[in-house]
Chains A and B, each alone.
Chain A
Amino acid sequence: MPDFARLYDVLVVGGGNAALCAAITARRAGASVILCEASPQPMRGGNSRHTRNLRALHPGPTQVLTDSYLEEEYWDDLNRVTGGKTNEDLARMCIRASQHAPDFLASCGVVFQPSLSGTLSLSRTNAFFLGGGKALVNALYREAAKLGIVTLTDTEVQHIQVDDGFASEAIISHCGFPQRIRFKALVAASGGFQANRNWLREYWGDAADNFQIRGTPYAQGTILKDLLAQGVQQVGDPTQFHAVANDARAPMEDGGLAMRLDCVPFSLVVNRDVERFYDEGEDVWPKRYAIWGRLIAQQPGQIALAVTDSKAVMNFLPSVYPPFKADSIAEIAAQAGFDAGKLEKVVADFNAAVRPGTFTPMVPDDCRTEGLVPPKSHWARRIDTPPYYAYPLRPGITFTFLSVKVNEQARVLMADGKPSANMFASGEIMSGNILGQGYLAGFGMTLGTVFGRLAGEGAARHVRN
């Protein structure tokens, strides 16, 4: 039983990468730290459990990153995916600090993998955790235990007492029993609200019922809502999130990475009304996978169907659930429950619009359509070689961008613009400060590590003073 009578220097709310980086940094700086993770022990780590890499600036090749990836290119990439909806100062600070993120994680026992095969080839920009995010989470918890951080699982922080921008006490549920924790500084790292379907319904209505929550079901946004209700400044569009094209047959929660489908650029995608709605071949998949969840979320019934043929099936990673497979487009449509006549026409129109080109799966090629609306700009090949394959798609929500506002020290800002005396935030709960919309693969873990360290430093410094 932890000592709830004690006054802790730092309370960290959350148990993923952002929380652990903050806790470890604060503890290394001498503070006493207690960390509360809502999930039970085997599911600890929030969305970090499902991650795989982080995006890091590097001026030259390292053991885990090839070539170089400099500030301007990183910033360009981020600026492009967010469509300019970002905070340049904060973003550039984060980008610069990302150079040191892999070394920090390595100092906590996280092991990186030399390079990567497979469809999402990102070994120049992203450092991959050996074994993935759960291995990282395990390493961080081992480091936390070694440092003497009190880590509680099955412990939900329900309310933070905030007076004039000063947080003093937390009401928690520890293994189902109500408790209080007193502390001198707070780090909020408890993620977005994506697993809170009622909250999603406020913006999306019934469509929210068809959203698959890819990650932890514990991201209820309890502390996000609690802080925003107590005078903390809000940032970010509440309807914006990171969302991918998921297999429609995936579990509604916690299906993780393996549920996503990479077939889109090599397929033709129709909605429930059997109409195409977006350029499937706009850009390489690592730069486009994160917009498809939102695209499908905006379609009627939040369902889509990706149709391709036997030429393309080896160009993307296999699906967990077997694809629909048939020798005619009509049979495929019948299996998937889509209108056969319409699908045959869409495929025929598409095939007629395909221009000849040289197919190159990993880089944008000259295989495109002409006179088709919307066009397919790359990897457009006739769908004419049976057996045909089809994959049903639903939006898979990774995390929401609605956030508490922070400054460059990861300090929480109050509605009047003044910095809070002792509240800091890191990770998805402050992602909206930089991500106004869109997403860059591996940036979530960068955000968590960079702001986690800043929050931990700031909290420890506040306690010392």
Chain B
Amino acid sequence: MSATEFSQTGMSKLDLLLQEATTVESDAYQDARRQMAVCNACRYCEGYCAVFPAMAARREFEKADLTHLANLCHNCKGCFHACQYAPPHAFGINIPATFATVRQESYAEFAWPTGMGKLFDRNGTLLAAATTIFVTLALVLTVALRDPAVLFSAQTGTGAFFRIIPLWLINLLAGGSFGFAVIAMAMGAIRYWRGTGGMGGSFQPQPAVDAAVDVLTLRNLGGGGHGCNDFDDSFAQHRRWLHQAMFFGFMLCFAATSTGAVYHHVFGWHSPHAFLSLPVQFGTWGGVLLCIGTAGLLWVKTVTDPAPVARKLMGGEYALLGLLFLIGSTGLLLLAIRHTSAMGIMLALHFGLVLALFVVLPYSKMVHGIYRGIALLRNAREKRPA
């Protein structure tokens, strides 16, 4: 054997080892595959949600299949409480907890830029730290840079908010971080779509409509009609309605910001706007819904049966719900006290919280909406073959 041949063999062995190291699947994926083999021979849960009919259409579970099924799962826990093989049975079937872990691993895998997925490991700490840093930064900078006479006196009339934080700075920080988040999540979406099997065929409008209906109604949190196991083996629709409140609350807040921007840049109408103006109405009701939804979901999370819950992920989930609640509540407080001298500090607080959310957005549970949406679209396409 020549030296060249030897080194080539050596290289290829190293390559093989490297390849193996990068393709070996996590425990969660391997366990998900084992559990799917049991579920696919049982199929008692086929009436619960989209996951089980999608499972029944498969015989082999490649990694992409498991990622797809895990992201299709809405974590309603119906299958756990109905499972004849749930712990302490030797098979230990626990789809909600296992799929939640697989989902989290898929968020990390498809995060953009590559490597940022590590941020999902200690997500609660990350979110809490980002919140602390950006709130502190906003408060310190406002106090340091603004004339205390302005900051601690009642500001009224056109441009009141921008005397506390200049508009250009809001646009730069919020626009910049949100813009990056949108790009990062779009890249994640593309990588996820490719990673779970790609498009395979032309665009069909009907599956997209089906998926949109599933997203907007949260049909899969209906448990086949009578609701989910929000707390224990009894059925309720609390999570579904609380999530709806949170989702539409968030969307209304987003609409408030968008209409505010249109008022400012298109019509030249500057904030603060009247209480009955569109931006304030959207923001108020959005804030109320956001607070109700997030507080309610925090309550459900606290009192629910812990058995089907992936405990490792709870930090990030609590932190995100907490952050959204704080954003909603400080927004409402800002409205309530906007004519008083406390407005300046409250605005800085609210702005710091929003900034923290925008910065962590692509590395938080917020991405579940993107991947769930794609999973529902893929599922709708499978159900309606072109």
Contact = CB atoms under 8 A, between A and B. Distances in A.
Contacts of B44: 52, 131-133, 257
B47 A131 contact: yes
Query: Which of the listed residues A116, A128, A256 has the most CB atoms from chain B within 10 Å of its own CB?
Result: A256
Nearest to A128: B47
Contact of B85 (A113, A256, A319): A256
B40 A318 contact: yes
Interface in B166-196: none
Range of interface residues on chain B?
A: 20 to 34
Interface string B73-93: 000001101111111111000
B84 A134 contact: yes
B226 interface: yes
Given A118-B56, A251-B90, A317-B41, A134 B82 contact: yes
B225 interface: yes
B82 A131 contact: yes
B83 A134 contact: yes
Interface in A316-338: 317-322
Interface string A249-267: 0010010111100000000
B348 to A, nearest CB: 50
A50 interface: yes
A113 B224 contact: yes
Contact of A131 (B48, B56, B59): B48
B122 interface: no
Contacts, number: 85
Interface string A96-133: 00000000000000010110111000000000101111
A138 B229 CA distance: 12
Contacts of A116: 46
A43 B88 contact: yes
A52 B86 CA distance: 16
B36 to A, nearest CB: 10
Query: Which of the listed residues B38, B47, B59, B234 has the most CB atoms from chain A within 10 Å of its own CB?
Result: B47
B81 A135 contact: yes
B137 interface: no
A257 B41 CA distance: 8
A193 B339 CA distance: 79
Contact of B59 (A142, A251, A254, A318): A318
B42 interface: yes
A302 to B, nearest CB: 22
Interface string A228-272: 000000000000000000000001001011110000000000000
Interface of B: 37-38, 40-48, 53, 56, 59, 78-79, 81-90, 224-226, 233-234
19 contacts: A42-B86, A42-B87, A43-B89, A116-B46, A117-B56, A118-B56, A128-B47, A131-B47, A132-B42, A133-B44, A134-B82, A135-B81, A138-B82, A142-B234, A251-B90, A256-B85, A257-B44, A258-B41, A320-B38
